[in-house]
Amino acid sequence: MGFRPWKAKTEGLASEIAIGPESSQYPDGLDHKNDGLTPTVDGPENPVHDRPVEDAQHGVQAVEAVTLVWTKNQLYLAYAFIFLVFFVISMQQQIQNNLSYYVTSSFALLPLTGTTGIVSSIIGGVFRLPIAKFIDLVGRAEGFAIMTAFATIGLVMMAACRNVETYAAAQVFYWLGFDGKAKKAGLIKKSDSGRTWTESISYYFWEFDIIGLLLISAGFVLFLLPFSLASYQKQGWHSGMIIAMLVIGICCLIAFGFYERYADRKSFIPFELLTDYTVIGACLCSAFFFISFYCWDSYFYNYLQAVHGLTVTHTGYVTNIYSIGSCFWAVVISYLIRVTGRFKWLALYFAVPLQILGVGLMIHFRQPHHPIGYVIMCQIFIAFSGGTIVICQQMAVMAAAPHKGVASMLALIGLFTSVGGAVGTAISGAIYTNKFPAALAQKITNEALAKQLYGNLTAQLEYPIGSMERNAVWFAYGESMKWLSVAGTVFMIPCFIFVGMWRDFKVDEMKQVKGTVA
């Protein structure tokens, strides 16, 4: 309601720019196009004007037009609603996450909790780039509405699911919607394309690279799933299904590379953005950070309840240390960036070393005989370092791009984040499904009981602390957590190299957008 006063002005300005003069020059006779990856610096040689970029896509023009006509109060109101949306989403996710392990446990398939995350991470991440393109072409509001619908469908399916397959499908719908939600407010005046409906179908088929989407989605999903599913096959890695999934997945990924390079009209991945070392470094840092994160985090919830005997509520408190701590610390980091004008030093000399320290300490402290306080200490270290890394990664890609490329840049780093998360989940699934049952078999000779404890968190919690069965579970978690933490530590080490690839931007001297934005 608060945006209604400037809607007409915004649409008028956006449509005026869309029609535009024939000349590419601005009123002062200078050409202010910025098509490369060089940041737009506010200075006497490159002044910032009061009109949106003429050659930008319609959705970008409209948002730039919004910033030119809204007031400070309207900007603050927009931010307030954005923060409210984030609050509601975060609250919903924490409630859902605290109970999701009981869903897969109810099907006696507890280790498949990570497997459902692989599919949803890949699909949600892969679709970030076409969604970014969609909101640039059509509009932020339309994109937000459609993605909210997808997320809602996913939640309804989760509530109604009666088997793990439906639950996995619901996760895909939910994360597709959540990953695609536009974090901006925009008012769009849709222009007539002049195409027939058949021409529009063909246009968007190639514009959004449907074939590329299918190839990369199928490739990653089929390649990563076997790492979690192999333990459920009688023949293990020799199973025909596992071998077929691996072969087809690898073939799809190879075919995707050749298709994007030689056959595609519109490349799914904007390879031109990957010519900048800052962008490459930020994307790789994001991927490896999330590989590391999901290596140690995937079975953390089960460990807290089964080993430390925490209730659902108290387990939620511990697992939320990262979410709350990283968000709180991100505010502090933002202030430091504002004061110093630089962010690379924070990632290189503070965030990466602290993350390695926090995850590395868990190799020792995430064992049954250590108090929960040491685990919480590690979580605080990881929260502060994580809040720093995520902010700096996003700052790096945004600083390296012109404003019209920001959506694609954030979607690109989001793709690497999701793929990294899926790879980390697959690695953790492979470690857990091999180490946990093997360790359990050392303490329990009853094969049926061992299988029940392996696949069901509720069954693990039924036995009192100090019993033979609970001690066996403790031992199995200790072995699993040790190797999961080792993997998480190893994958963080290359981040020193990736952060070192970033340019040391002086962000307080940069001006990339017009109008009132802060």
Tell me: do 501 and 387 sit in the same domain: yes
Helix (H/G/I), strand (E/B), else coil: 43? strand
185's enclosing H/E stretch is: none
Would the pLDDT of 10 be above 90? no
Radius of gyration for the alpha carbons in the chain, expressed in angstroms and rounded: 25
Is 138 a domain residue? yes
Tell me: do 377 and 406 sit in the same domain: yes
Range 200-224 average pLDDT: 79
Chain centroid to Cα 109, Å, comes to: 25
CA angle, residues 345, 346, 350, in degrees to nearest 5? 110
**Cα–Cα dist 133/400, whole Å:** 19
Is 198 a domain residue? no
Q: What is the pLDDT of residue 374?
A: 94
Tell me: do 219 and 153 sit in the same domain: no
Kindly report the pTM of this predicted structure.
0.72
Q: Roughly what angle, to the nearest 10 degrees, separates helices 468-492 and 277-297?
A: 170
Residue pair 400/343 in contact by the 8 Å Cβ criterion: no
Tell me: do 69 and 180 sit in the same domain: yes
pLDDT per position as a tens digit, 273-313: 677 889 899 999 999 999 999 999 988 988 999 899 898 88
Q: Which of 146, 162, 190 is the last residue of a domain?
A: 190
Tell me: do 258 and 278 sit in the same domain: no
Lowest mean pLDDT among 80-84, 206-210, 312-316, 498-502: 206-210
Q: What is the CATH number of the domain that holds 441?
A: 1.20.1250.20
Q: Which of 222, 245, 265 is the last residue of a domain?
A: 265
Name the region of 515 (left: φ>0; alpha: ψ -120 to 50; beta: rest): left
Is 195 a domain residue? no
The CA-atom distances, in angstroms, between 295 and each of 235, 382, 384, 436 are 25, 13, 18, 15
pLDDT per position as a tens digit, 368-413: 889 999 999 999 999 999 999 999 998 898 888 765 667 677 778 8
Sequence-distant (6+) residues with CB within 8 A of 213 are 126, 127, 130, 268
Is 18 a domain residue? no
Question: Token match 């600083």: residue?
Answer: 399
Tell me: do 60 and 97 sit in the same domain: yes
Q: Domain count for the chain, please give it.
A: 3
Tell me: do 95 and 237 sit in the same domain: no
Q: pLDDT: is 220 or 324 the higher one?
A: 324
pLDDT per position as a tens digit, 417-456: 888 888 888 888 889 888 998 999 888 888 888 888 887 8
Is 178 a domain residue? yes
Sequence-distant (6+) residues with CB within 8 A of 104 are 110, 111, 112, 113, 116, 164, 167
Query: In 3D, which of 467, 469, 480, 483 has the Cα closest to residue 439?
Result: 480
Q: What is the pLDDT of residue 70?
A: 66
Tell me: do 181 and 220 sit in the same domain: no
Query: In 3D, which of 336, 363, 332 has the Cα closest to residue 507?
Result: 336
Q: Which of 248, 265, 282 is the last residue of a domain?
A: 265
Q: pLDDT: is 133 or 368 the higher one?
A: 368
Is 493 a domain residue? yes
Tell me: do 379 and 455 sit in the same domain: yes
Is 203 a domain residue? no
Backbone dihedral angles phi then psi of residue 43, each to the nearest 5 degrees = -165, 175
Q: Which domain holds residue 397?
A: 273-510
Tell me: do 215 and 318 sit in the same domain: no
Is 197 a domain residue? no
Question: Token match 């990924």: residue?
Answer: 253
pLDDT band at 235 (very low <50, low <70, confident <90, very high): confident
Tell me: do 325 and 278 sit in the same domain: yes
Tell me: do 396 and 423 sit in the same domain: yes
Sequence-distant (6+) residues with CB within 8 A of 363 are 482, 485, 486, 489
Q: What is the pLDDT of residue 501?
A: 93
Question: Token match 């360790």: residue?
Answer: 439
Q: What is the pLDDT of residue 321?
A: 92
Would the pLDDT of 13 be above 50? no
pLDDT per position as a tens digit, 113-132: 556 666 777 777 667 767 76
**Cα–Cα dist 43/355, whole Å:** 38
Range 338-367 average pLDDT: 93
DSSP 274: G
Backbone dihedral angles phi then psi of residue 46, each to the nearest 5 degrees = -145, 70
